[in-house]
Amino acid sequence: MTDASRQLLSRPSLSQRGWLREQLRDETVGGILLLAAAAIALIWANSPWGASYEALVDLQVGPISLHLDLPLGVWAADGLLAVFFFVVGLELKHELVLGSLSKPAEAVVPVAAAIGGMAIPAIIFFVINSTMADGSVVGWGIPMATDIAFALAVLAVVGRRLPVALRAFLLTLAVVDDLGAITVIAVFYSDHFSAIWFLAALATFGCYAWAQRQRIRSPWIYVPLVLLGWYFMHESGVHATIAGVVFGFLTRVRADPGEAKAPADRLSHRIHPISAGVCVPLFAFFSAGVDVRSVGFAEALSSPVAIGIIVGLVIGKPIGVFCLAWLTARFTRASLSPDIAWRDVAAVGLLAGIGFTVALLITELAYEDDASRLDSAKIAVLTASVIAAVLASIALLARNRHYDAVYAIEEADADGDGIPDVYGTSDAR
């Protein structure tokens, strides 16, 4: 019998289970809206009125005096996704302080799996584009990302009863993936760096952290700081979304005595639905509308950039996730929870191959001055995400009977106290 401390993907605590369910519920709804927004954009861009879609994306709005007269497509990437990354920062802080990343023994496998799921696709993309004619290695960061909202939209259709431990594993993968993507964007896809503006942004971060430490709750302090921090980061040349994740990460996640909820929980409760239901779908709407007629679908997918993205996401992601998780488990002599098999980890790896929101963002940053490669890369991201979703659905449906049995055990509440029976009295407390 394996000791519980050496058991991988075990059932999360009752409090963590509640937090997970709330986060995943918002992401599931957001994923469905994201898919709808992307579909509308694709249909509009390829319709007789496609020119009006392009005109809308390129419509410039904002104050010229502040250098913020930006196209709506850029506002979606720099502004709306800053809200998304703020939520990512909140989730990352929660995972590091209270969640699965707070305990090294529990964190090592999902972190290793996430690193494998980022490194292998990037290597595959680099090798393909460095060895094929007309390749372009600059987009190596595109196949690194996992879209948790899109993945959960797939689960809403074919995997509604996926064990909560596997859902937690997928969320942890996505959070670590997002951290990796944020680092890649900040280091490799930022330009025209200005130290003065960057230091100004750091000053707003410091003021935000100080206000958190002083237990200040007034939005009249935080809203101006966040807006200034975003603007300073935008002017510094570092991608403005980085400000969002930093502010999220600086938010307090532990509740004080007598405090009903910590600031991070309060903010997540208010902002997460806006991020998942409005910001990310709007970004998808402004980014996914590729006119396939002008590019040629077959021609676009035959380019080295497209091949690198598709192979990286569909094949590299699951290989990286599964192999690194398995090797880490072997190295640490740990074993999976009895309710979960390695084929389930492989299915999650296939889900992780759905790289949509952040992949599209990195695509726009990597090929913003190369229209043909930009369109080809976007088509590849969309195609790879659909292929990964189909393959993951097949793998999950093959295990539906087992998942139903686990779900029945995890949700059973014979005494009707609102707490599943698998959590004992000590867990409830």
Task: Output the 3-class SS for the chain.
Answer: CCCHHHEECCCCCHHHHHHHHHHHHHHHHHHHHHHHHHHHHHHHHCCCCHHHHHHHHHCEECCHHHCCCEEHHHHHHHHHHHHHHHHHHHHHHHHHHCCHHHCHHHHHHHHHHHHHHHHHHHHHHHHHHHHCCCCCHHHCCHHHCCCHHHHHHHHHHHCCCCCHHHHHHHHHHHHHHHHHHHHHHHHHCCCCCCHHHHHHHHHHHHHHHHHHHCCCCCHHHHHHHHHHHHHHHHHHCCCCHHHHHHHHHCCCCCCCCCCCCCHHHHHHHHHHHHHHHHHHHHHHHHHCCCCHHHHCHHHHHCCHHHHHHHHHHHHHHHHHHHHHHHHHHHHHCCEECCCCCHHHHHHHHHHHCCCCHHHHHHHHHHCCCCHHHHHHHHHHHHHHHHHHHHHHHHHHHCCHHHHHHHHHHHHCCCCCCCCCCCCCHHHHC
pLDDT category at 249 given cuts 50, 70, 90 is: very high
Residue-wise pLDDT tens digits, 16-35: 777 777 777 777 788 889 88
Window from 6-10, 299-303, 337-341, 383-387 with minimum mean pLDDT: 6-10
Out of 4-8, 186-190, 201-205, least confident range: 4-8
Strands 335-336 and 7-8 come out as parallel
Question: Domains of the chain, with CATH numbers?
Answer: 11-190+239-409 (1.20.1530.10)
Residues in Cβ contact with 193 at an 8 Å cutoff, skipping those fewer than 6 apart: 236, 237, 238
Which tops the pLDDT comparison, 224 or 167? Answer: 224
Residue-level pLDDT at 424: 64
pLDDT grade for 108, boundaries at 50, 70 and 90: confident
Q: How many residues does the chain have?
A: 429
The tokens 């930022």 sit on which residue? Answer: 190
Q: Around 42, how many Cα atoms within 13 Å sit in the side-chain half-sphere? A: 15
Work out the pLDDT band at 6, boundaries 50, 70, 90. low
Average pLDDT estimate for 216-244: 92
| pLDDT > 60? residue 40 | yes
d(CA 58, CA 24): 33
pTM greater than 0.85 (yes/no):
yes
Question: Regarding predicted confidence, which is higher, 100 or 163?
Answer: 163
pLDDT at 124 over 90: yes
pLDDT tops 90 at residue 140: yes
Between 102 and 325, name the one with better pLDDT: 325
Q: Which single residue is written with the structure tokens 């249909």? A: 43
Report the distance separating Cα 8 and Cα 287, nearest Å: 38
Higher-scoring residue by pLDDT: 68, 306: 306
Q: Calculate Rg over the CA atoms of the chain.
A: 22
- β-pairing verdict for 60-61 and 70-71: antiparallel
Residue 329 has pLDDT above 90, yes or no: no
